[in-house]
Amino acid sequence: MTDPAEVLRLDAVTFRRNGRQILHGIDLTVRAGEHWALLGPNGAGKTTVVGFCAAQTHPTSGTVDVLGQRLGRVDTAVLRKHIGHVNPRHRLQTDLTVTEVVLTGVTGTIDLPMRWVPTDEQRTRAAALIDDIGMTARADSGWHTLSQGERGRALIARALIAEPELLLLDEPTTGLDVAAREQLLETVDALASSAPDVASVLVTHHLEELPESTSHAIVISDGATVAAGPADQTVTSEVITRAFRHPIDVGYDGRRWSARAVRASATP
């Protein structure tokens, strides 16, 4: 049995900005159908790594291959059409409906382009994806009437409508309450069966925000890799303690992760 195709590869990637080195030799290989978590404290370099994955940033040294194309040798605007990017800071200027927001995933724009008319097939696919995320009743609702959780789920549908090979979820549960977070994570978990060949990278610094479908993880700190590999071998107390530089007890119940600080024993 052959290994699934490589979707993303970072080899010895470094990145410098204004004379400061932000990343130090990052290696990462993501294959079709794998669901990676990118973990680390604030300032670890997660956003910079996502920039490579999204074909938005070029490395200072090392190589980045996205969907079989090497950055620096490919039209990144064309490449980005095959990458779904879920960003909770989506800056919508006009009050589009949920359906219209999802359809902007076809054009790869924030707003619907002037004079662009979606095909019947595109409208049908948008409706099916909106149903998949449990928002059919809100399909005609304006963006500014939606809760943050509903927006997050709509953005997942938007990312999927172009049938991407790689899905990036950049801290998708930011600002959500517990119920909205769980609804969004259920939507992410459903992708493992509805889009089994799509690879994903989810960025967070909260272990409770990892969906059950997480198969692999890379943990970074101060721009360097602490550990990478299968999630059950990587998201551990020892690795997370090293990355966050604080004693953390990591729990895993076979489905979801948890984390709590280890308190020093009280002095008698």
DSSP code string of 139-163: TTSBGGGS-HHHHHHHHHHHHHTT-
Sorted by sequence, the CB contacts under 8 Å of residue 166 that are 6+ apart come out as 7, 8, 30, 53, 66, 67, 82, 83, 84, 198, 199, 200, 201
Q: Is 26 helix (H, G, I), strand (E, B) or coil?
A: strand
Q: pLDDT band at 267, cuts 50/70/90?
A: very low
What pTM does this model have?
0.89
**What pLDDT digit, counting tens, does each position of 90-110 carry?**
777 788 999 999 999 988 888
**What pLDDT digit, counting tens, does each position of 116-142 carry?**
999 999 999 999 999 988 899 999 999
In the chain, the domains with their CATH numbers are: 6-235 (3.40.50.300)
**What pLDDT digit, counting tens, does each position of 16-39 carry?**
998 899 999 999 999 999 999 999
The owner of tokens 């973990």 is 39
